[in-house]
Chains A and B, each alone.
Chain A
């Protein structure tokens, strides 16, 4: 497991009540490694951290190592700043044999990002 993923996992604060989907809340502190250099004096949670967080959550809850095979679509609607409570919800499904993951990130009830990812399963644990 890489250092970025460890830092993301350590930023999880709460498992949210499920409605058949995975859901967890995160708070990325000002010292979170993903803010380092992104950007000096204007910290914004990198898009790739947001995608990595969804992937890691799905991996942990599914009990299998996953690889990001594709980003079918992703929209980043508002910046995520340090110490904001970020709720991540995702739902996995199979479509035409493809392993898909639909996810949203929200802050204070407002959607700040939405993805559709394609995942590949069964790789060796990292």
Chain B
């Protein structure tokens, strides 16, 4: 175990996103390619309308940032700085629910495949027992040793 890395922990040291585009607050747990993060959108977020309803596109970013936090954690545990990654695809992402500022949102991700610098990730955003969004993302992981990366 690396000194100073215990869960739950703040997501910010693990991911390149910063406010207002850092939407994930805390990495809650990591287990065998899976992870759970927590997010609470403040009333002042640019993603909320006047009634506090969160723009549904935010769910996509929550899943992407949750995978980034997971990967950053794994990198840190391997003694490396968190690597960079970019969202390159989304498939079959359903958004049946709505979130509001102040809701405690948990995002679960599972690494389905990782090959050739790409990872396929399944994710779901929940509030209590309610699934607000779920689907699959494809992420390109930058090779820090590649020229021009």
Contact = CB atoms under 8 A, between A and B. Distances in A.
Interface in A1-53: 1-5, 7, 33-34, 36-40, 42, 44, 46-49, 51-52
A37 B91 contact: no
Given A33-B20, A71-B135, A79-B86, A5 B94 contact: no
Interface stretch (B27-35, B57-65, B102-110, B115-123): B57-65
Interface string B70-102: 000000000000000011111111111000000
B143 interface: no
B56 A68 contact: yes
Contacts of A34: 21
Contacts of A5: 55
B57 A52 contact: yes
Nearest to B138: A75
Contacts of B93: 70-71
Contacts, number: 95
Contacts of A51: 57, 60
Contacts of A37: 17-22
B61 to A, nearest CB: 5
Interface residues of A, number: 35
A55 interface: yes
A63 B56 CA distance: 19
A80 B89 CA distance: 15
A76 B49 contact: no
A107 interface: no
B147 interface: no
A76 B87 contact: yes
Nearest to A34: B21
Contacts of A48: 55, 57-58, 60-61
Nearest to B16: A39
A67 interface: yes
Contact of B95 (A68, A76, A79): A68
